[in-house]
Amino acid sequence: MSAILAYSFQTGLTYADAVKLLGADGSGSARFGEWYERDSAWYSELLSCRSYRGMWLNLYFFDEETILELKFDGSESGKAAAESVALKELLPALGARDIKPTGSVN
């Protein structure tokens, strides 16, 4: 069984900045896994990573907020790893501020 942790935050980065930072532009940056731009009928600015430390990640850019979702295996150790990746790695790299736990987008 899997579970999702999600965080809402503000950032000074634009979507294009995040694409470049995460290497979703094909630059080959694998600092945080292999990110790619998602083609979605519902979300125009969505980046995903299929496997970073055993998790599936989504980054949504909305007008009022940005949301990072981390899908993990549902175990307590998986939850701890997801929290660590979010709070110690990805959110700081994205210049996140006003970080709040939130529900999943989907």
- The CATH number linked to 77 is 3.30.310
CA-CA distance, 15 to 47, in Å (whole number)? 9
Q: How buried is 34 (Cβ within 10 angstroms: 0-12 exposed, 13-18 middle, 19+ buried)?
A: middle
Residue listed under structure tokens 């939850």:
79
Pick 103 or 44 by higher pLDDT: 103
What pLDDT sits at residue 18?
A: 93
Q: What's the pLDDT tens digit per position in 44-61?
A: 899 999 889 899 999 999
pLDDT in the model for residue 4: 96
Asked if the model's pLDDT at residue 65 lies above 70, the reply is: yes
Domain that holds residue 10: 3-102
The pLDDT of residue 28: 64
Give the pLDDT score at 77: 95
pLDDT value of residue 93? 94
Give the per-residue SS3 of the chain: CCEEEEEEEECCCCHHHHHHHHCCCCCCCCECECEEECCCCCCCCEEEEEEECCEEEEEEECCCCEEEEEEECCCHHHHHHHHHHHHHHHHHHCCCEEEEEECCCC
What is the reported pLDDT for 29? 66
Q: How many domains does the chain have?
A: 1
Strand partners of residue 5: 70
Separation between Cα atoms, residue 49 and residue 8, nearest integer Å? 18
pLDDT in tens, 67-102: 999 999 999 999 999 999 999 999 999 999 999 999
Note the pLDDT of residue 40: 73
